[in-house]
Structure 1
Amino acid sequence: MANTRTEQENMESLRSVSKYRWGFNAGINIHYKWSHLHMIREMLCQVNELENFKRTCFGHVMDVKADKSLFCFSFMHYLMLRRINKPDATEVELWFAIGKTKARFSKREFCLVTGLKFGPLSTFIVNPFEALPRGIRLRYWGLRKEVKIQQVLDTFKEGQFQQEGDGSKMALILIATNSLVENMDEWYAFPWGTYVWSLTVDYLPRGFEPPTAGEADKKHYHFYGFI
């Protein structure tokens, strides 16, 4: 009994959020609309590009059912409440206390779930972005200095693609919010696992902040990345 009590006390000392602060209401804003998956899938089917898209590293998301229950808010909230600060943990992994078990979420688990490739990012971020003379950006949005994701979405919904493969490229932009589709060789070589994982592991702990003394009981926080 004494050992069990000591283990519980040790686990409590590692918690990022003490159990005494768990009693608050929270709302999570997920900065990705999974409802767009159905629209993307339907459009790619119409222009016969769905199979080509499925051969990309993000192709498996087309098999995900776009359902309101896809993201479980309560599970994510309860999981983040149970986050612990493990002394020997690295900066790129998260640990949680699930019952009496310590569970790790690192790039290894992320890779197993997503199948995305890891590697150094430095070779891909040295040169600034340049729109290719015959690339998709100039073809649809001209010389605009900035193209917002909503503009890409609106163009995609119209379905008036000028070249074969443009539908798949726009779908990749909508899912990955990245302009590497100008050069598909670079797209396939890009370490998407490293990129998306870094966003996820950065925003998960940053977004979760329980209310401090004097704040309202209702708390909203935001999650970005591959949630």
Structure 2
Amino acid sequence: MSDIFLQPYAATEDGFHVRYFENDENIRLTDVWTRFLTGGFDQPKDGLKMALVLIANNVLFGQDLRRKVALWLFKMVEDLEAFNSFPWGSYVYIMTIHYL
């Protein structure tokens, strides 16, 4: 697994999390969903980044919109290559076994 879990979270300066959520650490999926539907993104790939956060939380993790967004996802979407190469299948499998 990536060492992203071992590092304390720090928002990327002028990153996605700062631009849209003012570095708030209590963002719920419903906040991301609402902002995604609003559109009008500041950077060309910000809509994609929001969609990836929603897909990871809602589809891969099966979480309800009332849940908080895992902060490491905000860090992960800043580097789309890292996001795409992350071992999502292994991560979701381990999470599933843990919750059984």
Which one-letter code corresponds to 1:186 in the other structure?
A
SS in structure 2 at match of 1:185 = helix
For residues 158-193 of structure 1, the C-alpha deviation after alignment (integer angstroms, 9 at most, x for no partner) is 112111011111000001033210222321232111
Q: Tell me which protein shows more helix as a share of its residues.
A: 2
Unaligned runs of 5+ in 2: 58-72
Match status 1:186 vs 2:82: yes
Unaligned runs of 5+ in 1: 1-120, 207-227
SS in structure 1 at match of 2:77 = helix
Tell me the TM-score normalised to structure 2 length. 0.72
For residues 29-53 of structure 1, the C-alpha deviation after alignment (integer angstroms, 9 at most, x for no partner) is xxxxxxxxxxxxxxxxxxxxxxxxx
Q: Alignment length, in residue pairs? A: 84
1:41-60 to 2 correspondences below 5 Å: none
Match of 1:202 in 2: 98
Kindly indicate whether structure 1 or structure 2 has the higher relative contact order, using CA contacts under 8 Å at least 6 residues apart. 2
- Structure 1 position 194, deviation (Å): 1.2
SS in structure 1 at match of 2:24 = coil
Matched-pair identity in %: 36
- Structure 1 position 122, deviation (Å): 5.0
Q: Tell me which protein shows more strand as a share of its residues.
A: 1
SS in structure 2 at match of 1:155 = helix
For residues 115-147 of structure 1, the C-alpha deviation after alignment (integer angstroms, 9 at most, x for no partner) is xxxxxx153321122211121010111132321
- Higher gyration radius (CA): 1
Q: What is the CA–CA distance in structure 1 between the aligned matches of 2:3 and 2:24, rounded to whole Å? A: 27
CA RMSD of aligned residues (A): 1.7
Which one-letter code corresponds to 2:93 in the other structure?
W
For residues 77-134 of structure 1, the C-alpha deviation after alignment (integer angstroms, 9 at most, x for no partner) is xxxxxxxxxxxxxxxxxxxxxxxxxxxxxxxxxxxxxxxxxxxx15332112221112
